[in-house]
C-alpha cells in the first residue's frame, strides 16, 4: 500500500497477448461494463429507455458522482478521505440551521462547513503528518456527531428556492444533474489543464521527489482535502434539497465506501499518481446501473452488495501492480 | 513498507532524547493514563458512576469491542487493516441466533465457521495477490453484509436465541460483571502470549516493520498474514455470537460502522497503522476508554449520545497529533 513507485503507463510487454488484454481492461473495462449493462437493460428491462427512468437514475447517482470527484483527487495524492459522508450530514444540518437567512446563505454556510472540515483533514495530513486514513477517520466519527448535535432530528423544510434546486429541471434536465456535469467538467479541467493538477499527480506519484523538486507539497495536499470537503458539502446540500428535509443521522452513511468504490472501479489506483475523472464518473454509473438492474429484476438489495463486492475485487485485481 | 520501526536516532549516540522517551511512554501508556484520569473524574463528578453495577456495565459493554480489537491489533501490527469486522460482528450474531435452535454448540460453531471462512478467504486473497488489505476487506464488509441481509429477508427477520445455555453465556454475571468480560480476558491472555512469546508473534511484528526484509529473512509472510486475518474474522464472529446471546436475538442493525470504533480503539491504544509496533494492553485500554467516555456522557443530563461521537473523534485526533508532535514515532516518511 505504501509503495511509492510511479506507475508507468504502458505495460513493458507488447500490446498483444495477456498483458495487453489486462491493460485494455484496466483502461476501458469500466466503460465496457457500463455499455454491457446498458445494452442488457435496453433489451430486457421494460421502460428502461423512457426519459423518466433516465432522469431518476441520473438524479440518484449525482451525490455519489460529486463526492467521488473529490475522492479521486485525494486518492490521486495517495491519500483517502473517509470523512465525506459525515461532511454531507454536516451540510444537511447547516442548511437547515441557516435556512432562516435565505437559501443562498444556507448553502454558503454548508459549503463553508465542508471547506472547514476539509481544511482540518488537510492540516492533519499535510502539516502534522498524520496518515490520511486515521486523520479522516477521526473526522468521520467527530463530524457525524457534530452534525447530530447541531440538529438532533430530521427537519423538513419548504423553502421554495431550495425545493426548486432539488426538484426542478431546465430543458428536461434536472438542476442537480446540471450541477454535477459542471463539476465534472471543472474537475477534469483542473486535473488535465492546470499546474495544480500536475502537482497533485506528481505528489501522489512520489511525494519525496516532488518536495525535492520544489513543489508546494503542503499547500497542494491541503487544497485537495479542502476541495474534497467542499464537493462533499455540495453533494450533501443537493441531496438535502431533493429530500426536502435535513437528515443528519442517515444522510451520507457509507458514502465514503461508495465513493471509493466508484474511484477504484474507474481505474484510479489507490497507490496514487494518477487521477481518472471520467473513469470515476463511469464507476459511479456502473454501480448505479447494477443496483437498478437488480432491483428492476426483483433481486434483493443484499445481492447488490455482494455483486458490488465482486466487481470491486475484480477491478482491483485487474489494476494491481505486477511484480 | 517505507516506514521503519527502529527509528534512527537523531544524535549519533543510541540514547534516546527525553522528548523521544516521552513520546514512547505516551504511545505505550497514554490510553491507560487517560483511562485512569477519566475514572477519577467520573468518581468525583458523578455519584452513580462508581457503583458496582455501572462499572460492571461498562466492562461488559466494552468487552465485545475489545474482543474484536484484539484481532484488529494483530492485523494492524502486521501492516494491514480489516474493515470487514463490523459486518462480520452482525453476521456472527445473526448466525448464532439462527443456530441456537440446534443447541449451544451449533450457536457458537456456526458463526465461528462462517466468519472464520470470511477471514481466511480475505487473508488468502491479501497474501497471494498482494492486493491492498483496505480494498479486500472493504469487499468483505459488503459481502458479509449482503449475506447477512439475504439471511434475514433484507434485515426484516430477527432470529431469537432459543437455547438457554447459550443465552446464559451472554447474560450471566459474576460480581456484577458479565461473562463476556471474562471471556475477553481469557482471549486477551492467550493473544498476549501468542503475540509476545511465540515465533508467530515475532513474525507479525517483522512483517509489519518491513515486509520485504522479513520475507528475505525467511519469515513465512503469506502464512502469517492468512493467520492474522483468520483470527480477526474468528474473533469478530465470536463477539457477534456473544452479543446475540446477551441480547437474546440476532440484531441486524447494530454493529454498522463498528470497524471504525475498533480501529479507533487500536490507534488510541498506541498501535500504529503503519504496522510493526504496538501491543494488546493499549488496545484494551483504548476499548475501555471509549466505553467510559460513552458512559460518562450518558451521565451528563442534556448531552445526547451523538455528543459522544464528537468527543471520540476529537480524542482520536488529539492522540494522533500528540503521537506526531512528541516525535516518538514516525507515521509516514515525510
Q: Mind listing the pLDDT tens digit for each residue in B307-331?
A: 777 887 887 888 778 777 765 444 4
Distance CA B322, CA B29 (A): 13
For residue A5, the model assigns a pLDDT of 42
* Total domains, chain B: 1
In this model, does residue A230 exceed pLDDT 90? yes
Q: How confident is the model at residue A12 (pLDDT cuts 50, 70, 90)?
A: very low
Q: Does A4 touch chain B (CB under 8 A)?
A: yes
Residue B10 in this model has a pLDDT that exceeds 50: no
- Contact between chains at A302 and B146 (C-beta distance less than 8 A): yes
Q: What is the pLDDT of residue A2?
A: 40
A319 compared with B48, residue with greater pLDDT: B48
Q: Is the dihedral of CA A204, A205, A206, A211 positive or negative?
A: negative
Query: Residue B177 pLDDT > 90, yes or no?
Result: no
Mind telling me how many Å the CA of A136 is from chain B's nearest CA? 9
**Can you say whether residue A170 is alpha, beta or left, with left for phi > 0 and alpha for psi between -120 and 50 degrees?**
beta
Those residues whose C-beta lies under 8 Å from the C-beta of residue B126, and which sit 6 or more positions away, are B80, B133, B136, B225, B229
Q: Cα angle at B79 between B76 and B82, to 5 degrees?
A: 50
A118 vs A128, more confident: A118
Average pLDDT score over residue span A168-194: 89
Cβ-defined contact of A149 to B145 (cutoff 8 Å): no
Place of cell 509472510: B221
CA distance B323 to chain A (A): 9
Residue B69 reports pLDDT greater than 60: yes
User: Closest Cα to residue B155, out of B262, B249, B257?
Assistant: B249
Check CB contact under 8 Å for B143 and A309: yes
Contact residues on chain B for A134, CB-CB shorter than 8 A: 267, 273, 316, 320, 331
Least confident of A154-168, A183-197, B83-97: A154-168
Q: Point out the residue among A129, A270, A323 whose CB comes nearest to the CB of B324.
A: A129
Four-point Cα dihedral A283, A287, A293, A296, nearest 10: -140
**Chain A CA closest to residue B322:** A128
CA distance A87 to B315: 19
pLDDT above 90 coverage of chain A, percent: 29
Burial of B60 (0-12, 13-18, 19+ CB in 10 A): buried
Helix (H), strand (E) at residue A58: helix A51-76
Q: Is residue B333 part of a domain?
A: no
Give the burial string for A232-271 (b: 16+ CB within 10 Å, else e): bbbbbbbbbbbeeebbbbebbbebbbbbbbbbbbbbbbbb
Residue B332 domain-assigned (yes or no): no
Mean pLDDT of B223-243: 92
Residue B226 or B303, more confident: B226
Which 14-73 residues of chain A touch chain B by CB within 8 A? none
Please tell me which residue, A234 or B328, carries the higher pLDDT value: A234
Residue B16 pLDDT level (bands cut at 50, 70, 90): low
CB contact under 8 A, A313 and B135: yes
Q: Is the pLDDT of residue A48 over 80?
A: no
Rounded CA-CA distance A191/A45 in Å is 37
Task: Tell me whether residue B9 is in a domain.
Answer: no
State percent of chain A over pLDDT 70: 92
pLDDT exceeds 50 at position A172: yes
Q: For residues A288-307, give the mean pLDDT.
A: 80
| Band of residue A183 on the pLDDT scale cut at 50, 70, 90 | very high
Tens of pLDDT, residues A52-86: 777 888 888 999 999 999 999 999 998 999 899 99
- Asked whether residue B135 is assigned to any structural domain, the reply reads yes
Q: Tell me which residue range forms the domain holding B90.
A: 19-326
Instruction: Band the pLDDT of A169: cuts 50, 70, 90.
Output: confident
Give the integer Cα–Cα distance in Å for B228 and B234.
10
**pLDDT value for B151:** 82
CB-CB under 8 Å, A139 with B306: no
pLDDT at A89: 93
Contact A145 B125 (CB under 8 A): no
- Which is more confidently placed, A318 or B108? B108
User: In the numeric block, which cell numbers belong to residue A271?
Assistant: 497507490
Q: Which residues in A101-128 are b (16+ Cβ under 10 Å) and which e?
A: eebeebbbbbbbbbbbbbbbbbbbbbee
* CA neighbor of A202 nearest in space, from A273, A270, A268: A273
Instruction: Specify if A19 maps to a domain.
Output: no
Cα–Cα nearest to A248, from A133, A90, A123, A137 = A90
Question: Is residue A11 domain-resident?
Answer: no
**CA nearest B151 in A: which residue?**
A302
Best of B317, B322, B326 to substitute, by most chain A Cβ atoms within 10 angstroms, is B317
What does the pLDDT read at residue A92?
A: 92
Asked if B123 and B226 count as a contact pair (C-beta separation under 8 A), the reply is yes
On the question of pLDDT at B6 being above 50, the answer is no
* Closest by CA position to A289, among listed A51, A66, A39, A63: A39
> By CA distance, what is B317's nearest residue in A?
A138
B19 vs B298, more confident: B298
pLDDT, mean over chain A: 84
Least confident of A1-5, B94-98, B139-143, B150-154: A1-5
A105 near A98, Cβ under 8 Å? yes
B309:A142 CB<8 A? yes
Dihedral (CA of A88, A92, A98, A100) sign: positive
Best B142, B143, B290, B327 member to test A by mutation, with max A CBs in 10 Å, is B142
Say if A300 is an interface residue toward chain B (CB within 8 Å).
Answer: yes
Residue B193 lies in a domain: yes
Mark yes or no for CB contact B309/A137 under 8 Å. no
Which of A131-135, B46-50, B242-246 is least confident? B46-50
Residue A150, chain B, CB below 8 Å: the answer is: no
What's the CATH number where A127 sits? 1.10.3470
Contacts of B113 (CB under 8 A, 6+ apart): none
**pLDDT tens per residue, range A186-218:** 999 999 889 998 999 999 888 888 888 888 889
- Residue count of chain B, please give it: 334
**Residues ≥6 apart with Cβ < 8 Å to B187:** B67, B70, B235, B238
Nearest to B308 among A145, A260, A313 (CB): A145
Look at A295-299, B61-65, B134-138 and tell me which has the smallest mean pLDDT.
Answer: A295-299
Distances (CA, A) of A135 to A102, A232, A269, B19, B75: 34, 17, 21, 23, 19
What mean pLDDT is predicted for residues B184-196?
Answer: 89
Q: Which three cell numbers stand for residue B304?
A: 445526547
Paired sense of beta strands A169-170 and A173-174, if any: antiparallel
Nearest to B287 by CA among B13, B20, B34, B81: B34
Binned at pLDDT 50, 70 and 90, residue B99 comes out as: confident
CB contact under 8 A, B320 and A134: yes
Q: What is the mean pLDDT of residues B17-25?
A: 69
Domain count, chain A: 1
A130/B321 Cβ within 8 A: yes
Q: Is residue B246 part of a domain?
A: yes
Nearest-CA distance A247 → chain B (Å): 14
Contact call for B310 and A142, based on CB within 8 A: yes
Pairwise CB contact (< 8 Å): B264 & A137? yes
For the domain that residue B123 is a member of, what is the CATH number? Answer: 1.10.3470
Q: Comparing A105-109, A310-314, B299-303, which segment has the lowest mean pLDDT?
A: B299-303
Give the C-alpha separation, B184 to B67, whole Å.
6
Query: Which H or E element spans position A246?
Result: strand A245-246
Is the pLDDT reported for residue A13 higher than 80? no
- B5 within a domain of the structure (yes/no): no
Three-state SS annotation for A9-43: CCCCCCCCHHHHHHHHHHHHHHHHHHHHHHHHHHH
Q: Which domain holds residue A272?
A: 28-38+49-322
pLDDT over 90 at A108, yes or no: yes
Spatial CA neighbour of B86 closest among B263, B330, B272, B216: B263
Distance from CA of B121 to the nearest CA of A (A): 12
Q: Residue B3 falls within a domain, yes or no?
A: no
Amino acid at each position: 500500500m505504501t509503495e511509492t513507485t510511479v506507475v508507468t503507463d504502458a505495460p513493458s510487454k507488447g500490446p498483444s497477448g495477456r498483458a495487453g488484454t489486462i491493460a485494455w481492461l484496466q483502461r476501458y473495462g469500466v466503460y465496457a461494463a457500463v455499455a454491457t449493462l446498458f445494452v442488457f437493460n435496453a433489451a430486457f428491462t421494460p421502460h428502461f429507455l423512457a426519459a423518466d427512468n433516465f432522469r431518476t437514475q441520473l438524479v440518484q447517482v449525482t451525490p455519489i458522482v460529486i463526492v467521488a470527484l473529490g475522492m479521486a483527487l485525494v486518492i490521486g495524492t495517495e491519500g483517502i478521505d473517509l470523512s465525506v459522508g459525515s461532511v454531507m450530514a454536516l451540510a444537511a444540518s447547516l442548511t437547515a440551521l441557516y435556512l432562516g437567512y435565505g437559501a443562498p446563505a444556507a448553502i454558503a454556510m454548508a459549503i463553508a462547513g465542508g471547506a472547514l472540515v476539509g481544511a482540518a483533514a488537510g492540516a492533519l495530513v499535510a502539516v502534522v503528518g498524520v496518515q490520511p486514513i486515521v486523520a479522516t477517520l477521526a473526522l468521520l466519527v467527530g463530524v457525524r456527531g457534530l452534525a447530530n448535535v447541531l440538529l438532533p432530528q430530521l427537519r423538513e423544510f419548504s423553502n421554495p428556492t431550495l425545493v426548486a434546486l432539488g426538484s426542478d429541471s431546465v430543458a428536461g434536465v434536472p438542476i442537480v444533474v446540471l450541477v454535477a456535469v459542471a463539476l465534472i467538467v471543472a474537475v477534469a479541467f483542473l486535473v488535465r489543464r492546470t499546474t495544480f493538477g500536475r502537482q497533485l499527480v506528481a505528489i501522489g506519484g512520489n511525494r519525496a521527489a516532488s518536495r525535492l523538486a520544489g513543489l508546494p507539497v503542503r499547500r497542494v495536499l491541503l487544497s485537495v482535502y479542502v476541495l474534497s470537503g467542499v464537493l462533499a458539502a455540495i453533494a450533501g446540500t443537493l441531496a438535502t434539497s431533493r429530500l426536502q428535509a435535513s437528515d443528519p443521522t442517515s444522510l451520507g452513511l457509507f458514502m465514503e465506501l461508495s465513493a471509493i468504490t466508484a474511484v477504484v472501479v474507474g481505474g484510479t489506483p489507490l497507490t496514487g499518481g494518477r487521477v481518472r475523472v471520467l473513469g470515476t464518473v463511469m464507476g459511479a454509473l456502473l454501480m448505479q446501473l447494477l443496483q437498478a438492474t437488480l432491483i428492476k429484476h426483483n433481486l434483493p438489495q443484499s445481492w447488490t452488495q455482494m455483486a458490488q463486492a465482486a466487481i470491486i475485487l475484480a477491478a482491483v485485481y485487474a489494476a494491481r501492480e505486477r511484480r | 513498507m517505507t516506514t521503519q520501526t527502529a527509528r534512527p536516532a537523531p544524535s549519533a549516540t543510541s540514547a534516546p532524547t527525553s522528548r523521544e522517551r516521552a513520546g514512547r511512554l505516551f504511545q505505550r501508556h497514554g490510553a491507560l493514563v487517560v483511562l485512569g484520569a477519566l475514572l477519577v473524574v467520573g468518581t468525583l463528578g458523578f455519584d452513580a458512576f462508581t457503583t458496582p453495577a455501572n462499572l460492571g456495565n461498562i466492562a461488559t459493554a466494552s468487552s465485545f469491542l475489545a474482543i474484536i480489537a484484539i484481532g484488529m491489533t494483530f492485523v494492524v501490527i502486521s501492516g494491514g487493516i480489516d474493515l470487514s469486522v463490523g459486518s462480520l460482528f452482525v453476521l456472527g450474531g445473526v448466525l448464532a441466533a439462527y443456530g441456537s435452535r440446534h443447541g449451544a454448540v451449533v450457536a457458537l460453531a456456526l458463526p465461528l465457521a462462517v466468519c472464520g471462512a470470511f477471514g481466511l478467504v480475505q487473508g488468502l486473497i491479501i497474501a497471494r495477490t498482494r492486493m491492498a488489505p483496505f480494498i479486500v476487506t472493504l469487499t468483505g464488509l459488503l459481502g458479509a453484509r449482503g449475506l447477512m441481509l439475504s439471511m434475514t429477508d433484507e434485515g426484516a427477520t430477527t432470529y431469537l436465541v432459543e437455547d438457554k445455555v447459550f443465552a446464559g453465556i451472554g447474560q450471566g454475571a459474576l460480581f456484577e460483571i458479565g461473562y463476556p468480560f471474562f471471556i475477553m480476558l481469557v482471549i486477551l491472555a492467550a493473544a498476549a502470549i501468542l503475540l509476545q512469546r511465540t515465533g508467530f508473534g515475532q513474525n507479525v511484528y517483522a512483517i509489519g516493520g518491513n515486509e520485504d526484509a522479513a520475507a528475505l529473512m525467511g519469515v513465512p509472510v503469506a502464512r502469517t498474514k492468512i493467520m492474522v486475518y483468520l483470527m480477526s474474522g474468528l474473533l469478530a464472529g465470536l463477539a457477534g455470537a456473544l452479543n446475540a446471546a446477551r441480547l437474546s436475538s440476532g440484531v441486524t442493525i447494530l454493529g454498522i460502522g463498528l470497524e471504525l470504533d475498533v480501529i479507533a480503539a487500536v490507534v488510541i491504544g498506541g498501535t500504529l497503522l503503519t504496522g510493526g509496533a504496538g501491543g494488546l494492553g493499549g488496545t484494551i485500554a483504548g476499548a475501555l476508554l471509549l466505553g467510559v467516555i460513552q458512559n460518562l456522557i450518558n451521565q451528563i443530563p442534556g448531552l445526547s449520545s451523538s455528543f459522544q461521537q464528537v468527543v471520540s473523534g476529537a480524542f482520536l485526533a488529539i492522540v494522533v497529533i500528540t503521537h506526531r508532535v512528541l516525535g516518538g514515532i514516525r507515521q509516514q516518511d515525510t
